[in-house]
Amino acid sequence: MGAVLLIAAVTLASNKIPALGAALLAIALALRFTLVYLPRVVANIHDPGPWTSGFEILAMCGGALVLLGSAHPPLRAAGSASSSVSLGRFLFASLLLVVGAQHFRYAGFVATLVPAWMPWRLFWAYFVGTAFFAAALAIMTGKLARLAATLLGTMFLIFVITVHAPRISGKLHDGNEWTSGFVALAMGGGGFALAGALARTDS
């Protein structure tokens, strides 16, 4: 997995055979979700941890598929999203349904993650949960999908700056904080990548 991540990072960042990196990343993440996290979800159906971590992996797999469809022109069908982008958008949006539900189910806990300087912390927990549901619906149905993906990417980048960066700076040796921050950053990038892919396939 470490080797795949490094190969994907180099090929995508350098734009050298990005389709290879995106394909390897999508396959590796799909296998990790299926072999590692899906059994945990089934075994602990009421535990939110495996749901969150597992569907984060699945969403990033969806993002990799979107990049694959964007990086390999033959995969893009004229006038419609490629099969890679089409599948990727659904996998990417699946996380939004999970975390959207969790924002309502565990609103009290989510509110504690909102920066203390922000008023109405419980309101923001419900607001973000609603935004996740709305974005998932738009992306899955294709109605205002590009706008939803762009706004979603922007929202995740705001989370990185306002929520994750301060937590990371306060706990520099906490791997969990770094992971959470980079997952949010990846989701932000995934939102923008999806918006770009939809713009190209719709043109």
pLDDT per residue as tens digits for the range 76-105: 444 334 788 999 999 999 999 999 999 999
What are the CA-CA distances from residue 85 to residues 3, 62, 116, 140, 172 (Å)? 25, 8, 38, 11, 36
Report which DSSP code applies to 134: H
**46-79: per-residue pLDDT in tens?**
999 999 999 999 999 999 999 998 875 544 444 3
Q: How many domains does the chain have?
A: 1
Residue with tokens 């149905």: 141
Check pLDDT > 50 for residue 23. Answer: yes
Domain coverage including residue 102: 2-202
Looking at residue 75, its pLDDT comes to 45
